[in-house]
């Protein structure tokens, strides 16, 4: 790994620094596409590789959806992710190197990473350079498009007397297979969980639910409180699970972390690529670094299928049970494919899924309450659909908010 040295190294005429809050800055501000830093980092990595060189004026384009770090497309061939905070990419760099060494094609090809040796902070990863996937879209776009199409096709098929699910996409099984292969590689570093793992998992999930309930208001809050006991029941099931084993999982696995790009050689013309191994952004840095159970990744991905079904109903401008029926089939297909492909079967304990799913939905709702209120409708929909209501408080049925042709 190539590294820069010193407290204020110069990159392509620009000075790097770390402020008191740990933010990585270029000339006192956040790095950005066009300043040449990403191009210089890519050139440093490529100098040690048997690949085409990089022109001194190679173009840079920003990726607007990356809010934590700065991701820049260089020369329409490489993605350079420059960390927003010190040490933020150490975990991702390590895991991507492990997967690259194993020859994984389930993640973007890693070209290399660049470090920074700081006299006070030590050594850390400054940037990661991966392949650029032309025409790629994340799952909040392509998966929603597919579900909307499947629901509309099923509606038309039902009118003609056709079978339900005949137009379902096959990618849920593909994703299950890919995640199993990733876990097999990363699971080589597995260790036994602590004796208190079951109680620690229960407490973490119960805290997530308590925070969501405390923050919830309006019709969403009423629906959540009516389902609090059903969610809590699944969370309490974590008490009876065995400690099992854990390893460095993805940690923030959802359909938004799966890119689709054109691939003429694939059966469905698509390549599915798992990205962003930085861990769960809702956890502090120390917790993100901790090993965890494989079931958490699987639970997060299963929950995201329900969230996609909710977004699809927003796009359809109506509540439609066919979207939930699709989610049921997709969840079953993904889980079956995952279990069939996983070589290290001891990595996965399905008994953890109900508690982890309940925790993730509560965490999604609490995140939306705090940072992204327009997103509340999606976890609200999944909770309302998946969990039984006590009907203690009169509630209105969930309906999707008005659709506007902008990203969620």
Binding-site annotation, residues for Mg(2+): 257, 276, 278
Q: How far apart are CA 141 and CA 62, in angstroms?
A: 19
DSSP letters, 81-133, are EE-SBTTTTHHHHHHHHHHHHTT--SBPPEEEEEEEEETTTEEEEEEEEEE--
Report the binding-site residues.
Answer: 81, 138, 252, 257, 276, 278, 364
Binding site as annotated, residues for ATP: 81, 138
Q: Rounded to an integer, what distance in angstroms lies between the CA atom of residue 126 and that of residue 112?
A: 11
Distance of alpha carbon 407 from alpha carbon 152, whole angstroms: 21
Contacts of 372 (CB under 8 A, 6+ apart): none
How far is the CA of 325 from the CAs of 68, 72, 144, 267, in angstroms? Answer: 35, 39, 15, 25
Q: Whole-angstrom Cα distance, residue 216 to residue 376?
A: 10
* Beta bridge mates, 277: none
Cβ neighbours of residue 116 closer than 8 Å, sequence gap 6 or more: 3, 4, 5, 9, 16, 123, 124, 125, 126
What lies within 8 Å, CB to CB, of 56 at 6+ separation is none
Binding residues for D-glucosamine: 252, 364
Q: CA of 90: how far to CAs of 151, 180, 312, 316, in Å? A: 41, 23, 35, 41
- Give me 326's structure tokens: 């699709």
Q: Which residues of 199-231 are buried (b: 16+ CB within 10 A; e: fewer)?
A: eebbebbbebbebbbeebeebbbbbbbbbbebb
Q: Are 77 and 131 in contact (CB under 8 A)?
A: yes
């Amino acid at each position: 790994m190539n590294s820069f040295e010193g407290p204020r190294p110069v990159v392509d005429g620009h000075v790097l620094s770390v402020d008191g809050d740990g933010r990585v800055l270029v000339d006192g501000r956040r790095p950005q596409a066009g300043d040449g830093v990403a191009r210089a980092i890519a050139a440093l990595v490529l100098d040690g590789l048997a690949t085409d060189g990089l022109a001194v004026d190679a173009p840079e384009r920003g990726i607007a959806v990356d809010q934590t770090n700065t991701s820049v497309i260089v020369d329409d061939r490489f993605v350079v992710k420059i960390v927003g905070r010190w040490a933020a990419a150490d975990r991702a760099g390590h895991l991507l190197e492990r997967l690259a060494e194993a020859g994984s094609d389930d993640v973007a090809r890693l070209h290399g990473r660049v470090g920074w040796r700081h006299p006070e902070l030590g050594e850390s990863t400054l940037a990661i350079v991966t392949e650029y996937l032309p025409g790629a879209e994340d799952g909040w776009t392509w998966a929603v498009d597919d579900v909307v199409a499947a629901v509309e096709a099923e509606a038309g098929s039902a009118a003609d007397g056709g079978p339900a699910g005949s137009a379902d996409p096959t990618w849920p099984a593909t994703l299950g297979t890919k995640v199993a292969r990733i876990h097999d590689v990363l699971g080589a570093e597995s260790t036994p969980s602590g004796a208190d793992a079951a109680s620690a998992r229960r407490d973490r999930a119960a805290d997530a639910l308590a925070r969501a309930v405390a923050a919830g208001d309006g019709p969403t809050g009423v629906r959540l409180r009516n389902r609090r006991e059903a969610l809590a029941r699944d969370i309490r099931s974590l008490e009876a699970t065995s400690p099992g084993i854990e390893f460095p999982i993805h940690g923030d696995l959802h359909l938004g972390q799966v890119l689709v790009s054109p691939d003429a050689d694939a059966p469905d013309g698509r390549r599915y690529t798992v990205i962003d191994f930085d861990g769960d952004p809702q956890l502090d840095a120390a917790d993100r670094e901790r090993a965890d159970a494989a079931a958490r990744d699987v639970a997060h991905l299963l929950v995201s299928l329900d969230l996609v079904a909710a977004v699809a109903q927003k796009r359809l401008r109506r509540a439609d049970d066919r979207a939930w029926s699709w989610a049921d089939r997709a969840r079953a297909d993904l889980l079956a494919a995952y279990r069939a492909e996983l070589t290290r079967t001891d990595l996965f304990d399905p008994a953890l899924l109900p508690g982890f799913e309940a925790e993730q939905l509560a965490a999604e709702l609490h995140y939306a309450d705090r940072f992204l209120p327009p997103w509340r409708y999606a976890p609200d929909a999944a909770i309302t659909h998946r969990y039984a209501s006590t009907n203690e408080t009169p509630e209105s049925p969930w309906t999707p908010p008005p659709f506007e042709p902008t990203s969620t």
